[in-house]
A = this chain, B = another copy of it.
Amino acid sequence: MDSKVSARAAALAGHLSMRNSSAESKDTSILGLGNPMASMAVERTKASFPIRELTYFLDGGKEMTAVKERMMTELERDPVFQNVDFYDLTKEQLRERTMSKIARLIHYITSEREEISHLRFSLVGLIDMGLLTRTGVHYALFFGSLRGSASPKQFSYWISQGAAEMKGMVGCFCMTELAHGSNVAGLETTATFDERTDEFIIHTPHIGATKWWIGGAAHTATHTVCFARLIVKGKDYGVKSFVVPLRDPKTYDLKPGVSIGDIGKKMGRDGIDNGWVQFSYVRIPRQFMLMKHSKVDRHGNVTQPPLEQLAYGALVVGRVSMVADSAQMSKRFVTIALRYAAVRRQFTSKKGEVETKILDYALHQRRLLPLLAQTFAMQFSSDEMSAMHRALMRKIDSTDPSDLKAMAVVIEELKEVFTTSAGLKAFTTWACAETIDQTRQACGGHGYSAYSGFGQAYNDWVVQCTWEGDNNILALSAGRGLVQRYLDVQRGSKAPPQTEYLNKLARLKFAQAGSRQIDSAAVLSEAWEAVAAAVVSKAGESFIALRKKGLSADEAFEETSQQRFLAARIHTKCFLVLKFFDRISSSGPEIKPVLTDLSYLYAMWSIENDAGLFLQAEFFTSEQIDDIRELCNLYCRKVREQAVPITDAFNLSDFFINSAIGRYDGNVYENYFTQVKRQNPSKPQAPYFEKVIKPFVHRVAEVEVDAEELDEDEA
């Protein structure tokens, strides 16, 4: 720290300590505590780049930052969204609070463009994931299904019933059953056509087909889009979707034949009222089947579309937004942990000196700074993924379905988006879960307090690794896509940009870092491409060998599960690394250096974690792997200097951080103590003092039974 900086910091510390009015904080400049606010202020003087520029770069431009800031203001000033008591709410309180917030959110949703609402949702989700889900159940799942699967006439009808505004009706989405989650095609609820009355009979044949995990079903929904097997004249046409009224929208009494219950306590997201639903011979008009794709006419004639795959395009939206959520949520928690690390002091090397900031310990840097770098990697890949997805959707909308050649091209692209989004969803939601966990641990005991925000967020978050495609299954599916792509390339096709490395297999096979400088985009990109190529090739070759042995394709895929999983993992890491380097190329000169340091740290830390594969591919020598470990230490030290300014660039206000130990001012102990006291006002005795504690502590010994007295007199 140069003398100018320390003078500024000292002045600032003096200024700030004036503002501490409570008697308790008068004496905070003692050695162990240091002066947290001054410690934080010093960090900010270290910024080597214009923080605001990095914010604009991350947000996608100054205008987007302005929009986000307007929304943040709207939300944090709204009394319904106040969240100071958020971590103390019981399940029941949380559910009521969540519904109140939805009633408030609707004002915005119905008065702004959809992209703007998306941005708003992503901010809302940052601090209240249960709220996001509960709103999403209606808008993304129920209303999204109507939009994707209803005929235009049906869609207009449901809009006229209030579906777009949650007015007079609230929707939910009955897909998952007790015994079927991943295997959607195996769902067992039936929708049997009754030609006589022109109705479908929706029925739950046994306990395993009970609709389960249905968000909104327990308390809120009046209607559902139900996935059920279409049965017409005894023939099973597979799973289609049907609108089924669940409750009378006036009284909320259940419709005849509908049984609903609350599935109760969950690991997290208690703000959403998940329920179970059983249908007992419930009749709905034939026209309540969503008929954009498959159709059933008055006489029970069934028509099915030639390209039903396109309907799955909609499924990708969820994955794409989860990649974005992963980056967003990681920003929140690396910010908390880095701010805490910048003011928390523990141990001193020289007696009598102020203790050392934990951020200055090498291991602590190692724990947090790669996660900071990873957050950028996730954000940039997410941006890329969203762009791919938007482009695909535009193409789907603009392609004439009868132009089969054009459609074939679209479907190829859809497959690629499927594979990429599957891998990204899986590995970024896991990475985010790991980030919340690791950043919590990095805050020591205080990370375990509910008021630091980690516990609730972890519990709310981790379901992202399971729903909308279990991460393991998605990874296997991405791996399958990669093996197929490898086979295509072997047959002479050209791989698309996402797997460009498959077009240069011959060269990559013998690629080596050689004497080149390791910390460079060229070497690190090539390293990742070489290893991705090696891993995908190995999985592909294993598959080919098993097929030659006579295994069916399904069997050969099953046999190569572990390799497919690895292929998906490494392919996705490679994608994250390459997109990071790509994106930096468009950054301004003032922020490029800090982004470059972060990108090298991310790429090398990731290599270190999979060192075995880089050695097996012979891209790096054993000595170079040791060098990479040292380089990781070095880049951690570099990035450490900019850590607080970088997290400031994430531009999340204290309201969105919602952590007693992660606020902007760094005044951790005061903020934390104040929060604890406000949420837990002193009481003279425990509520169960008279009932339990007192009788226990004041108990007297039982009168000892002298059993011998009971002996018969033997005399």
Contacts and interface: CB of A to CB of B under 8 A. Distances in A.
Interface of A: 24-28, 30, 32-33, 87-88, 90, 92, 95-96, 99-100, 102-103, 106, 166-170, 176, 178-183, 186, 188, 205-210, 212-213, 218-220, 222, 249-250, 252-254, 260-268, 273, 276, 344-349, 355, 361-364, 366-367, 437, 440-441, 444-445, 447-451, 454-455, 458-459, 462-463, 465-467, 470-472, 476, 554-555, 558-559, 561-562, 565, 610-616, 618, 622, 625-626, 629, 632-633, 669-670, 672-673, 676-677, 679-680, 682-689, 691-699
B677 A261 contact: yes
A451 B265 contact: yes
Given A180-B32, A208-B28, A253-B684, A96 B692 contact: yes
Given A612-B612, A615-B612, A699-B167, A676 B276 contact: yes
Contacts of A266: 448-450, 455
Copies of this chain, count: 2
Contact of A220 (B273, B618, B693): B693
B182 A347 contact: yes
Contacts of A210: 673
B222 A24 contact: no
B30 A206 contact: yes
Given A669-B178, A676-B263, A693 B441 contact: no
Interface centre among A178, A208, A455, A682 (most CB of B within 10 A): A208
Nearest to A636: B562
Contact of A219 (B181, B205, B686): B686
A207 B24 contact: yes
Contacts of A25: 206-207
B32 A186 contact: yes
Contacts of A355: 183, 186
A447 B242 CA distance: 28
A543 B459 CA distance: 41
Contacts of A26: 206
A695 B162 CA distance: 15
Contacts of A554: 349
Given A26-B206, A220-B693, 13 more contacts: A24-B207, A99-B692, A103-B695, A106-B696, A181-B346, A207-B670, A207-B673, A253-B684, A254-B684, A261-B676, A264-B679, A266-B448, A445-B466
Contacts of A208: 28, 30, 32-33, 669
Contacts of A471: 441
14 contacts: A103-B696, A186-B348, A218-B686, A219-B685, A219-B689, A222-B697, A261-B680, A264-B449, A265-B679, A266-B448, A276-B673, A363-B561, A440-B462, A612-B625
A362 B99 contact: no
Contacts of A616: 611, 615, 622, 625-626
